[in-house]
A and B are shown apart, each in its own frame.
Chain A
Amino acid sequence: KNQVEQSPQSLIILEGKNCTLQCNYTVSPFSNLRWYKQDTGRGPVSLTIMTFSENTKSNGRYTATLDADTKQSSLHITASQLSDSASYICVVSATQAGTALIFGKGTTLSVSS
């Protein structure tokens, strides 16, 4: 069964600190993996997208890694800001008809001052 598991479920950090969010998946055949940021009451916004051959991708203070062998990905946030408070969703695309997206439940990050 195609699944995406994220950890931790929630996280509280102080402004300026770094943090790392984890994503494990059992999706086959694998097409790509995306990290999205979803602010409360808003739609998801894409942060990074990685295919099978890519093992790291950066977008400003966000750096995603992918280990296709162990089927694990991480999202590292550097020098966190209050505006980073949001839900971060890992989404894996399966190579099949319709290009199905399998969503993780997300990690809720709260950055406090």
Chain B
Amino acid sequence: GAVVSQHPSRVICKSGTSVKIECRSLDFQATTMFWYRQFPKQSLMLMATSNEGSKATYEQGVEKDKFLINHASLTLSTLTVTSAHPEDSSFYICSARDGRGGSGETQYFGPGTRLLVL
């Protein structure tokens, strides 16, 4: 089956620093990738949708200048949390949509990245 990886799996950083999270589709090309945030005991919340080679589409209330998304290739999208603050501490999950044939709607999720901002 399709595999999506994330790196790092967990990161601790100081307040004010920037953190980059990578999301890769390992065995398929993903024209669209999604970034979610999940707080404890809460559902996944879509932050943004990124299409390869174009600007990301952000959900209402998500600051695009704070959460920079780059989708430079069909297998890699990155999320950079700029000037991170403790309230940005969360579990960040990416997913990739496999655009091949009949499975075009299926989203495959990465294992997530735990961010802790001190």
Residues of A in contact with B (beta carbons under 8 Å apart): 31-32, 36, 41-46, 49, 89, 93, 98-101, 103-106, 108
Contacts and interface: CB of A to CB of B under 8 A. Distances in A.
Given A43-B110, A44-B44, A99 B91 contact: no
Interface residues of B, number: 23
Interface of B: 4, 6, 41-46, 49, 57, 91, 93, 95, 97, 105-112, 114
Nearest to B2: A46
B43 A44 contact: no
Given A46-B108, A89-B44, 19 more contacts: A31-B105, A36-B109, A41-B91, A42-B112, A43-B4, A44-B44, A44-B93, A44-B109, A45-B109, A46-B106, A49-B106, A89-B43, A98-B49, A99-B97, A103-B44, A103-B45, A104-B43, A105-B42, A106-B43
A105 B93 CA distance: 15
A95 to B, nearest CB: 9
A88 to B, nearest CB: 12
Contacts of A36: 109
A108 B91 CA distance: 17
A41 B43 contact: no
B112 A101 contact: no
Q: Kindly name the residue among A32, A42, A93, A104 whose own CB sees the greatest number of chain B CB atoms within 10 A.
A: A42
A41 B44 contact: no
A44 B49 CA distance: 18
B70 to A, nearest CB: 19
A89 B44 CA distance: 9
Contacts of B105: 31-32, 93, 99
